[in-house]
Amino acid sequence: MTDVAAPGAPENITTSDGVPLKVSLARATRRQRMQALLLVLPLLLFLLVAFVLPIGEMLFRSIYSPIGPDVLPNFSKVIQEWDGEDLPPESTFEVFVKDMTAARESNEIGKTVGNLATRVNYEIPGSRGLFTKSARKVKNITEGPYKEALIGLDKRWEDQHIWRTLQRISSNYTMSFYLAATDRKYDENNDIVMADPLYQIYLPIMGKTLWLSALITFICLLVAYPVSYLLATLPLRTSNLLMIMVLLPFWTSLLVRTTAWIAMLQTEGIVNNILVFTRVISEESRIQMIYNQTGTIVAMVHILLPFMILPLYSVMKTIPPYYMRAARSLGATGTYSFVKVYFPQTIPGIAAGTLLVFILAIGYYITPALVGGSDGLLISNLIADHIKKTLNWSLGSALGAILLAIVLIFYWIYNKLVGVDNLKFG
Amino acid sequence: MSALDKLPAPGYIAFGVACVIAYLFSGTLVATIGFAIIIGLPLYFMSDLPPYATWLEKFGQYIFLLICTMIFIFLITPVLIIMPLSFNSEPYFSFTQGMMSLDPAAFSTRWYQDIMLFGMNDPNRVDGWWSDMWNNATWVKAAFNSFKFAVLATIMATFFGTLAALGLSRPEMPWRSAITSLLISPMIVPLVITATGMFFFYAKKDTFPFFPDGLINEDLGIVLAHATLGVPFVIITVTATLTGFDNSLIRASKSLGANGWTTFRRVIMPLILPGMISGALFAFITSLDEVVAVIFLADVHQVTIPRQMFSGIREQISPTILAVATVLVVISIALLTTLELLRRRSERLRGLSPG
């Protein structure tokens, strides 16, 4: 619609009830837009409660850690004024001792000295004992000078590092879990440094996750390409039959397929039995193929393969066979016409398949947990461990947020290149 | 033209030589036959190449088909192999000597019986056997839970998903691509992240009406989680059936005097029903197979089939898992068949394919 009326047309076209046509049309369009939106609204609200808010909660937890202010409420206020030089003033020590004495009485979850000790221990490994021990004796300090009395309890209270850490965690919000999730930490001078290479866990696992996902995606592409080509070129009756062989694994439970791979790959399993039976390997040299990285790769390739085959197939099906024949008739060799004519037309399918498989592979949890052993674990397994076992929820959330960011970047690329509306199954 | 005529003579010779070499190498007839089938299948399926095809191209075609054969074997073997393995009479995950020689004594259905017996107080009692089985057998309880969650989650996901798909496929829908990306994202976001978020959020006290203690360890929490994961499938399948939807049908129905509800029931519904059903099947199987959310949100009484398999694989691996797996494979074959029939019906209804 343009504002310029066509030459010769009446200035104001009105509907039968006298409303200008433009206004009436805009009203009708708005009503239709509202109707469309209204249909989507219930699901949006549902996902808001069931999906968006929970993820928001996780992101919030990755920066929110109120243990310092909760356990030591008054101290957390006064320590902010300390300039970080030397030791805090005597008055701050007094507040600290009183807060610790009060905290000793608390049994409320999240507000005990034990919680504080755990929190500081994340920052300074090995400092837990200092807090639990001092908390037991701190009630005997009833009068000043508090500084000497506290140092008298334990020499470590003389250390600036402890006080700087306490100052840092006295805020409700912290970036320290993101630092920990990227193997960084604060040193004695409050500067951010890389952790000791020996203690770097998360960056190497993240690197391994990305590398393994890329490798799995690449293997999937290599395996899926010829199969999709075959399916796309065979007559429909045969290809429908073969398609069942692709779709059946796709529809089979993930756990069933993982179980099946255990049966296939274990040392007494079918693959090893066949190899021994056909004398390719001897009875003694059975290969360990499961509960390690190999097992993870094989099982994940099998599980993710349909996600590569289906988009490739749907693209290849639309490529007319006479393009290749034309290239051949113009004198191109088979290889040349494939590289120059066929392959470029399959690139949309390759983009869709690789991005989808890669996105799904990065976040995989079940298969690595079951067949990965110790060296086939991925970042998701580490996140689950922090949430369910070590209970360092903030660190788990920070790792989750980083993983989520990586996945969303690739999802955005997928959206730009392929478009979500082009996702199809079967 | 028979299949034999298609074979180039040198192909036969090479095939024969390869089989002889395989026999000499392995020394067993069974292995040689297996080998012959694998390398013979592509030879059988070799299509007629045009007359100008060179020998190199024929060889290339053979290698290509051989690779495809092996990939199909890779795809389908793990799914099929668990079926015979589940009839093992020994508590192992591999074929015994007896099974290889087809000795009837080496096969048994004991692991299928074990599905019902495992966890029962007294499998040998006579009176009250059924109630004992129903109340205590671990797998039976797990199956009951699984189907309960799956049915409820499917209804939820199909209802909300279909409504949203109807809105999304209207031409005047505002912010379509942004909203679609959001609605599909539960499928893309790693399950661990979704489950972690729900674990924190659902644990909030005094937030949810009727559930002052939060939704952790409640059936509703798991159903919500599974419905969320099923929604993208419903949206994708229903939207697919709505592409090419002829909007003049709606106008025609209205001009004949039908109101909105009648139009939906008599015109739109029959057209999108195949998409709804296949979306619902996807949502159902997603829920039936989901284990991460259950691990994060459920307590010990809310064990589902995949949860029980997960702990079974980790702790005490027994062929009962294979028996359960076989049952699940049979279920997925049934679902796959239903889906294929629906797809054909849908294409016929929309006139996409002849016949």
Q: How many angstroms separate the CA atoms of A394 and A64, rounded? A: 8
Q: By C-alpha distance, which of A337, A340, A301 is closest to B74?
A: A301
Q: Which residue of B has its CA nearest to A44?
A: B183
Residue B2 has pLDDT above 50, yes or no: no
pLDDT tens for each residue of chain A, 426 residues long: 445 545 555 567 787 778 888 888 899 889 989 989 999 999 999 999 999 999 999 999 999 988 888 888 888 888 888 887 788 888 888 888 888 888 888 878 778 888 888 888 888 888 888 888 888 888 788 777 888 888 888 888 888 888 888 888 888 898 889 998 999 888 877 788 888 888 888 999 999 999 999 999 999 999 999 999 999 988 888 888 888 889 888 888 899 999 899 988 988 888 888 888 777 788 888 888 888 899 999 999 999 999 999 999 999 999 998 998 899 889 888 889 889 999 999 999 999 999 999 999 999 999 999 998 888 889 999 999 999 998 899 999 999 999 999 999 999 999 988 887 777 664
- A14 DSSP 8-state letter: B
- Select the residue from B30, B46, B196 to test the A interface by mutation, using most A Cβ atoms within 10 A: B196
Is residue A149 within 8 A of residue A41, CB to CB? The reply is: no
- The helix/strand/coil state of A173 is strand
Task: Compare CB distances from A259 to B92, B227, B309 and report the shortest one's residue.
Answer: B309
Residue A369 structure tokens? 């947990």
A62 CB near a chain B CB, below 8 Å?
Answer: no
Q: Where are the domains of chain A?
A: 25-53, 67-172, 202-422
Does the predicted interface ipTM exceed a cut of 0.90?
A: no
Mean pLDDT of all residues in B126-146: 86
Q: What is the pLDDT of residues B142-195, one digit of tens each?
A: 999 999 999 999 999 999 999 999 999 888 888 888 999 999 999 999 999 999
Q: What is the pLDDT of residues A25-62, one digit of tens each?
A: 899 889 989 989 999 999 999 999 999 999 999 999 99
Residue recorded with tokens 């007094």: A94
Q: What is the pLDDT of residues A369-423, one digit of tens each?
A: 999 888 888 999 999 999 999 889 999 999 999 999 999 999 999 998 888 777 7
What does pLDDT average to over chain B? 85
pLDDT level of residue B8 (50, 70, 90 thresholds): low
- Is B236 in contact with A425 (Cβ distance < 8 A)? yes
Res A112: pLDDT:
83
Q: Give the burial class of A311: count Cβ atoms within 10 A of its Cβ; 0-12 exposed, 13-18 middle, 19 or more buried.
A: buried
Res B47: pLDDT:
65
- Is A383 in contact with B188 (Cβ distance < 8 A)? no
Q: Where are the domains of chain B?
A: 3-85, 132-349
A residues 367-426 near B, CB within 8 Å?
370, 380, 383-384, 387-388, 393, 396-397, 400, 403-404, 407, 411, 415, 419-421, 423-426
Res A11: pLDDT:
61
- Select the residue from A297, A329, A420, A424 to test the B interface by mutation, using most B Cβ atoms within 10 A: A420
A202-422: which CATH number, 1.10.357.10, 2.120.10.30, 1.10.3720.10, 3.40.50.1000?
1.10.3720.10
- Is A226 in contact with B71 (Cβ distance < 8 A)? yes
Mean pLDDT of all residues in B102-124: 84
In angstroms, what separates the C-alpha of B235 from chain A's closest C-alpha? 10
pLDDT level of residue B354 (50, 70, 90 thresholds): very low
A242 interaction partners in chain B (CB closer than 8 Å): 72
- How many Cβ atoms sit within 10 Å of the Cβ of residue A348? 17
B60 CB near a chain A CB, below 8 Å?
Answer: yes
Res A125: pLDDT:
84
- Is B177 in contact with A420 (Cβ distance < 8 A)? yes
State chain B's maximal CA–CA distance in angstroms. 81
- The helix/strand/coil state of A184 is strand
| Fold entry, domain B132-349 | MetI-like fold (1.10.3720)
Q: By C-alpha distance, which of A365, A351, A363, A359 is closest to A409?
A: A359
Mean pLDDT of all residues in B125-149: 87
In angstroms, what separates the C-alpha of A425 from chain B's closest C-alpha? 8
Task: Compare CB distances from B68 to A38, A226, A249 and report the shortest one's residue.
Answer: A226
Q: How many angstroms separate the CA atoms of A230 and A100, rounded? A: 73
